[in-house]
Amino acid sequence: MNRIVEKVNFPIPKQPKAKRVAAYARVSSGKDEMLHSLSAQISYYSELIQGHPGWLYCGVFSDEAYTGTKDNRTGFQSLISECRKGNIDLIITKSISRFARNTVTLLETVRELKLFGIDVFFEEQNIHTISADGELMMTILASYAQAESLSASENQKWRIRKAFENGEIVNLRFLFGYRINGAKIEIDPAQADIVREVFERAVNGESFTAIAKDLNNRSITRCLGGKWNSQRIRDLLSNEKYLGNALLQKKYRNNHLEKKLIHNDGQLPKYYAEGTHDAIVDEELFAKTQDILCYLAKRRETLKKPTLCAFSGMIVCDNCGAKYKRTTSKGKHAWQCKTFLTQGKAFCPSRQIPEEELYRLATEVLKLDEFDEDILHSKIKNIRAKNNCTLTFYFADGKEVSKNWVPRTRKNSWTAEMRECARQRVLNQRGKL
């Protein structure tokens, strides 16, 4: 008798998929104790995630010295980017205020993550955003966090303004000519010599552009390593701090969420404190420079009524990307790169374009009998100036047309009479030899 044996296949139980987990940590100050706290948070979350069975460690994203009200946190944005790529299932963070103090930002971010099936767990509040009542509780607590942020901001403003009223300098981090350590402002001897030199050269009638160019050629950089230009020289000469005094509250923050710096043009009171630190220049030298600045400002206002020109804002330098500006010399108009005008040929070796060439080429490109400004603006988006005396006209419909122009050289500007005089002068010199 044959026995029939049936093979029974038992299904292999599926292994649960590991949950991909990341953490977010933030401190709002760059102070040593805060940075130590951030380091401790990163270590804590790294150990927590890697030690949890069923969790796959996806990193700890962090930001230092950024407030939770801002959306431009690099660590935070990197975390959200990984979420959008589908690389994270769960985010752990300490609290709602660490994640975001802006209620709108918080809700928008959490709702976006929820659409991807990503949960955010706030340890301090014990809230999972993926749960049914998570969003309600989070909204209430986020509103409280934002209100707390506003209160803290107002308290800080009050303390700063009280300090201003008492003649104290607040939040001065760097200033060319000085070494700043907290509330202590000391003269930097080497930089102070440069400051005096700039003041003296300005009083002696040297242009700000020439001074800036010379400092750059000597590899003398600004506080944070930037290059000098005429505006930076003007800012230095007008800074009352080189006199040992301080005008306080020149700028202010627009609100506690954006924290954008705005120039104080009378919206808030300003405070002028004398003798807050050692001076680099004396009162006489400083007063002379202010007279010069005042004269230049009045002259600019007088010249500020330029004739509107058809090519304003249209010509772009192919070397540096700056716009071309109209210049006038001996009654002749030309166009020159702004970088060349402010910083010199070393920064942009672009050529000056005679205005008559611009009108001629534009008329030719547009196939007109005579120049028409309205047609120019309706058909041409911009004009790119290249170093090889080439202008490329970019049309609104996507077409491009390049044209060459003739540089205005001394040789080309000579008349036949001028050439004959020069020839006779050379012959006379040869006859004397």
Last residue of a domain, one of 303, 325, 359: 303
Half-sphere exposure of 12 (CA within 13 A, CB side): 3
Is 343 inside a domain boundary?
yes
Give pLDDT, residue 265.
65
Give pLDDT, residue 329.
83
Q: Do both 287 and 329 map to the same domain?
A: no
Half-sphere exposure of 333 (CA within 13 A, CB side): 15
Q: How far, in whole angstroms, is CA 268 from its chain's centroid?
A: 25
Is 10 inside a domain boundary?
no
Q: Do both 218 and 326 map to the same domain?
A: no
Is 252 inside a domain boundary?
yes
Q: Do both 219 and 326 map to the same domain?
A: no
Is 345:361 a contact under the CB 8 Å cutoff? no
Is 161 inside a domain boundary?
no
Q: Do both 144 and 201 map to the same domain?
A: no
Q: Structure tokens of 74?
A: 């690099």
CA dihedral 194, 198, 199, 202 (to 10 degrees): 170
Q: Do both 52 and 128 map to the same domain?
A: yes
Is 158 inside a domain boundary?
no
Q: Do both 40 and 131 map to the same domain?
A: yes
Is 83 inside a domain boundary?
yes
Instruction: Give the other-Cβ count within 10 Å of 430's Cβ.
Output: 8
Nearest to 38 by CA among 56, 52, 20, 24: 24
DSSP 71-135: S--HHHHHHHHHHHTT--SEEEES-HHHH-S-HHHHHHHHHHHHHTT-EEEETTTTEETTSTTHH
Give pLDDT, residue 144.
62
Give the whole-angstrom CA distance, residue 358 versus residue 336. 12
How far is residue 338 from each of residues 154, 324, 345, 355, 403, measured CA to CA in Å?
42, 6, 11, 16, 22
Give pLDDT, residue 306.
46
Last residue of a domain, one of 281, 303, 325: 303
How far is residue 228 from each of residues 130, 231, 273, measured CA to CA in Å?
54, 8, 28
Q: Do both 186 and 109 map to the same domain?
A: no
pTM: 0.41
Q: Do both 183 and 290 map to the same domain?
A: yes
Last residue of a domain, one of 246, 272, 303: 303
DSSP, collapsed to helix, strand or coil, labels residue 251 as: strand
Q: Do both 321 and 364 map to the same domain?
A: yes
Mark out the alpha helices in 247-389 (DSSP H runs): 283-303, 338-343, 355-365, 373-379
- Domain residue limits at 393: 315-412
Is 95 inside a domain boundary?
yes
Give the whole-angstrom CA distance, residue 427 versus residue 414. 18
- Helix (H) and strand (E) counts in the chain: 14, 18
Look up the CATH number of the domain holding residue 189: 3.90.1750.20
Look up the CATH number of the domain holding residue 141: 3.40.50.1390
Number of domains in the chain: 3
Residue pointed to by tokens 């790169």: 337
Is 226 inside a domain boundary?
yes
Low-confidence ranges of the chain (pLDDT < 50): 68-70, 252, 256-257, 306, 410-411
Q: Do both 281 and 402 map to the same domain?
A: no
For 181-206, what is each residue's pLDDT tens digit? 766 788 899 999 999 999 999 999 88
For 332-353, what is each residue's pLDDT tens digit? 889 999 999 988 888 898 889 9
Is 42:60 a contact under the CB 8 Å cutoff? yes
**Residue 406 bridge partners (DSSP):** none
Q: Structure tokens of 174?
A: 């760097």
Is 105:71 a contact under the CB 8 Å cutoff? yes
Q: Do both 248 and 197 map to the same domain?
A: yes
